[in-house]
Structure 1
Amino acid sequence: MTRPPLTEGTAGAPDTGRPPSLWRNRDFNLLWTGQCLSDLGGAMTDLAVPLLVLQQTGSPARAGLVGTTGLAVTLVCRLPAGVLADRFDRRRLMIVSDAFRLSVYTLLACLLLAGAARLAVIVAVVACSAAATAVFSTAEHAAIRNLVRPDQIATAVARNEARSYGTSLAGPPLGGLLFGVGRALPFAGNALSFLLSLVAVLRVRRPLQQTRQEPSPSAGASAVQGLRFVLGHPFLRALLLIAAPLNMAFTGVLFALTLSLRRAGLSPFLVGLAGTIFAVGGLLGAFAAPALQRMLRLPVLLTLLCWATAALMAVSALLSTTILAAVPLAAAVFLGPTANAALFGHQAALTPDHLQGRVVSVLLLAAGSVAALAPALAGALLGRWGGATAMLGFSLLVVAAAVAAGCSRGIRARAA
């Protein structure tokens, strides 16, 4: 795969000789480590919040509503977060976001200890945290190219993928354990994770954005400018057409598999184990991503990912009533981190720094919006035709992504 071109003002080390290892990049590793802890705390509360609501209200519907509230707030805040990340100092945005999340989760833990945490308070905490997380994550995505060399952007994205899969493995069991000891503990632990993340961001020395030479347009005009840039660039348009259906397919097929396994009578433990197997595939893929990127050019990588994923999802559908169905899905997601690293590495290299936040927010909003529809679609398909048919339906989405990747002029031109 060809390397992204050197862009003006990108990254901090001179582009001469053999590049130093990313593991020796102090500022990137500070931010990465802080977010490892923050993501771990978030994964703990992702499990603890529905358990808490279910314990207090006895209503699974209300527990699900709280989770949906967090997702909805994240989606609504994506575009404004992109505008903020391009108009204001990204380090300060991260600091304010961490301080805000630290405050609300500390408050929730204290109220739980006092026995005064009502449902409205829990919903408010989840919503406030989701809004702050949207701002932080967008600013972090936009800042990556200022922390690493241009030829290390894809590797940095792969490291972040490994972080995501690793914390999704460790966080829920730890959150469940802490909740069993004391229901305030997961939330206190999450507050501590934000404190440590805040310290890490404060210690980053390198600027997280280039100096702005021109005054920023209005907020509305800024958002439109970012959207126009995405829609006007062949590669970024292709990224939308590929990432959105893939994201929806993986989200939907996992949800369909979870429901199918429960309907087949498997225990909650085995259902959870299926999710763990899937996450292990993604984690191993994230570790293998740098080597795979060197071996495979972008069009080949995307073609292999899409067609292999469609086939493996079809195999999983045939096994939809057993835990073995998780194995082909784990194999399918193995190439996912490599594709994400290549695609978003190219995006970071080609997008001007003053548009990074808005472009990232448009891409994440598009992928997140269609993924949010996946559970409802999976439930409808499963209720009408059963788990195997529902999972096969999502494999067709991957076929659509494969066709888009094969026909995309933007992908071919970018890899040339």
Structure 2
Amino acid sequence: MTSLRRNREFNLLWGSQSLSDLGDGVASLALALLVPAETGSAVSAGLAGTLSHVARLAFRLPAGVLVDRIDRRRVMVACDLVRLTGFAALALAVFAGRAGFLLIVVVAVVDAAAGALFGTAEDAALRSIVPVAQLPAAVARNEARSYGASLAGPPLGGFLFGLGHAVPFLGNAVSSVVSVVAVLLIRKPLQGKIEKPQPYGAAFAEGFRFVFANAFLRAVLLVAVPLNFAVGGILFTVIVALQQNGTPPAIIGLTETIVAAGGLLGALCAPAIQSRLSLPALTRAICWTAAALLAVSALLVPGVAAAIPLGLTVFLGPACNAALFGAQAAITPDRLQGRVISIVMVVATSMAAAAPILAGVVVAAWSAPAAILLFAAAVVVSAVTATFSRGIRQAAASALAPVRS
């Protein structure tokens, strides 16, 4: 079996999307800086960010149906061309001094929608270009790419924005060009035979039934939902506690750097961790360790040290994600990949949106340590699921056996 390092198709996709993710990180910060610079309103900046997040979430489910019924290569190229056009137009408008709030919001929303569609198509195509046995390692490398971009993107975006307000958007447009070329150079088909299109409702219902009728996928959701909810909630709680304690903003920003660095290191170490533990043992160990680490944060808040257990938890995350989502890709028929991925991702991240609100309420009513302990208790649900779920045990035996499309 050819190693991932020598897999031409995977490396073309991974390399181009590493640059694209970096461009997204650069443009994301630049958009946040551009709105107040052009409008003088911090509220407008927040509104643009919120609309972008809503668009990304809203397009996830339709994207799953679309990438299962249309050629995924064409979808990915079309998304990149749309983003290229949007950011090139925004850069020209900034040069001309005509970058109004409406244009900025339109570009941000279109970028988010195209990003959701491209990401779903890319994830669905992974099984077509990577052998089933290497899917966990491929997922881990993609996680490393994402965490690396989250570390490097914002500082680079701030630097480029300082050189010229249009420069970050031109850079992101260039990354879209590279992505288009790389996707077109991939020789392998990115999906199997495309079936006759169903009505949207019927197609979505088929994916929904597959997810919730499968014991392993139900277990994945019961593991992922509390973990995502807890990590986001505790990070928000630590930041709020540091602000209340009068910590300088630069030091507060260090907490997010610690968390992102933990994720990047964890993604790099994920293949080594996976090689030593079976899927059930790995999931159990990570979930119980995460619950204990997150509880330790309650003892360290409101110091920056409270971010260290959170960073260690995120360090363990990529190995767990790679194992679970690698198995998901292996057991899901190709014709359902897009729908299953979109449904799992939307459900897995749904509760995370409520975490900051709940954290704020608990901190105001009781204390930051109480909020952290509440979120740590949620991770116990993940740990119990990982310990007793028959679906995860059964998947360990079947995940590496390819399924028919």
Per the normalisation by structure 1, the TM-score is: 0.93
Corresponding position of 1:151:
133
How far is the alpha carbon of 1:164 from its aligned partner?
0.6
Match of 1:255 among 230, 236, 248: 236
Runs (5+) with no aligned partner, structure 1: 1-18
Distance 1:371 1:84 in 2: 25
Identical aligned residues as a percent: 54
8 Å CA contact 2:83–2:114 kept in 1: the answer is yes
Match of 1:123 among 91, 105, 128: 105
SS in 1 for 2:275: helix
How far is the alpha carbon of 1:168 from its aligned partner?
0.6
Match of 1:102 among 64, 75, 84: 84
Residues 45 and 258 from structure 1, CA distance in 2 versus in 1: closer, same or farther, beyond 3 angstroms?
farther
SS in 2 for 1:208: coil
Corresponding position of 2:65:
83
**Mapping of residues 34-53 of structure 1, within 5 Å:** 34-53=16-35
Corresponding position of 1:3:
none
**Mapping of residues 306-317 of structure 1, within 5 Å:** 306-317=287-298
Corresponding position of 2:167:
185
Per the normalisation by structure 2, the TM-score is: 0.95
Distance 2:346 2:236 in 1: 20
**Mapping of residues 6-85 of structure 1, within 5 Å:** 19-85=1-67
Distance 1:385 1:181 in 2: 45
SS in 1 for 2:190: coil
Corresponding position of 1:270:
251
Match of 1:211 among 184, 193, 201: 193
8 Å CA contact 2:259–2:311 kept in 1: the answer is yes
Corresponding position of 1:407:
388
How far is the alpha carbon of 1:316 from its aligned partner?
1.4
In the alignment, structure 1 residue 175 sits paired with structure 2 residue 162: no
Corresponding position of 1:366:
347
Distance 1:254 1:355 in 2: 34
Runs (5+) with no aligned partner, structure 2: 398-405
Which stretch of the first structure deviates more once superposed, 293-302 or 358-367?
293-302
How far is the alpha carbon of 1:58 from its aligned partner?
3.6
Corresponding position of 1:387:
368
Which stretch of the first structure deviates more once superposed, 293-302 or 335-344?
293-302
Q: After superposition, what is the alpha-carbon deviation per residue over 1:270-299, rounded to whole angstroms, capped at 9, x for unaligned?
A: 111111111111111111111111111122
In the alignment, structure 1 residue 141 sits paired with structure 2 residue 123: yes
How far is the alpha carbon of 1:365 from its aligned partner?
0.9
How many equivalent pairs are there? 397
8 Å CA contact 1:73–1:127 kept in 2: the answer is yes
Match of 2:336 among 355, 358, 377: 355
Match of 1:302 among 265, 276, 283: 283
Corresponding position of 1:5:
none
8 Å CA contact 1:251–1:371 kept in 2: the answer is yes
Which stretch of the first structure deviates more once superposed, 215-224 or 335-344?
215-224
Q: After superposition, what is the alpha-carbon deviation per residue over 1:176-198, rounded to whole angstroms, capped at 9, x for unaligned?
A: 11112212111111111111111
